[in-house]
């Protein structure tokens, strides 16, 4: 299960300087994985972890840091979701985009047409979440997060 925790973190950076990875050297990312436990009904407790069990609820947190002396603009920050987890629909900031293929993104919740009816795409089919950040000032940090559940073996 360690691959759920150490999965690849993709930072897609499309900036106003042109080129898909214009800011790749100026932006760092640190990913942390927490096990989520309900302390009280309205409060959650996060415990950093490196081992998980099926049905565990996790929160992925990624801290992005602009290490440069320039403003970084029009960033698209991606958080891939491993195939062994299901997204729970909870993310921060709440304005996430989502994708089932890592290529085509739309505002969450995703929908599709089935037998002529518009239906929501099941959350367990989400493979990548994406946030659009208009600007990250020099030395500024921003954090994104998403909650997932570890799938039970089939």
User: Considering just the CA atoms, what is the radius of gyration of the chain in Å?
Assistant: 16
What's the whole-model pTM score?
Answer: 0.82
- Residues 59, 34: contact at Cβ < 8 Å? yes
Torsion angles phi and psi, residue 146, rounded to 5: -150, 145
Which secondary-structure segment (H or E) carries 39?
strand 27-40
Distance CA 72, CA 128 (A): 22
pLDDT tens digits in sequence order for the chain, 154 residues long = 445 544 445 444 444 344 335 566 889 999 999 999 876 556 677 888 778 889 999 999 999 999 999 999 999 999 999 999 999 999 999 889 999 999 999 999 999 999 999 999 999 999 999 999 999 999 999 999 999 999 988 7
User: How many separate domains does the chain show?
Assistant: 1
Q: Are 149 and 88 in contact (CB under 8 A)?
A: yes
Q: Domain containing 136: what range?
A: 2-150
Give the CA angle between residues 71, 73, 79 to the nearest 5°: 115
């Amino acid at each position: 299960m360690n691959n759920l925790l150490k999965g690849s973190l993709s930072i897609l950076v499309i900036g106003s300087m042109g080129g898909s990875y214009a800011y790749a050297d100026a932006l760092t990312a640190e990913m942390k994985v927490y096990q989520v436990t309900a302390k009280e009904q309205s409060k959650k407790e996060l415990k950093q972890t490196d081992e998980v069990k099926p049905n565990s609820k996790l929160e992925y947190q990624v801290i992005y840091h602009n290490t440069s002396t320039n403003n970084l603009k029009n960033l698209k920050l991606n958080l891939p979701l491993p195939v062994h987890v299901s997204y729970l629909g909870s993310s921060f900031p709440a304005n996430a985009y989502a994708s089932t293929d890592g290529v085509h993104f739309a505002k969450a919740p995703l929908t599709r047409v089935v037998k002529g009816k518009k239906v929501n795409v099941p959350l367990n089919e989400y493979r990548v979440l994406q946030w659009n950040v208009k600007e990250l000032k020099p030395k500024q940090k921003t954090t994104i997060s998403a909650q997932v559940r570890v799938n039970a073996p089939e």
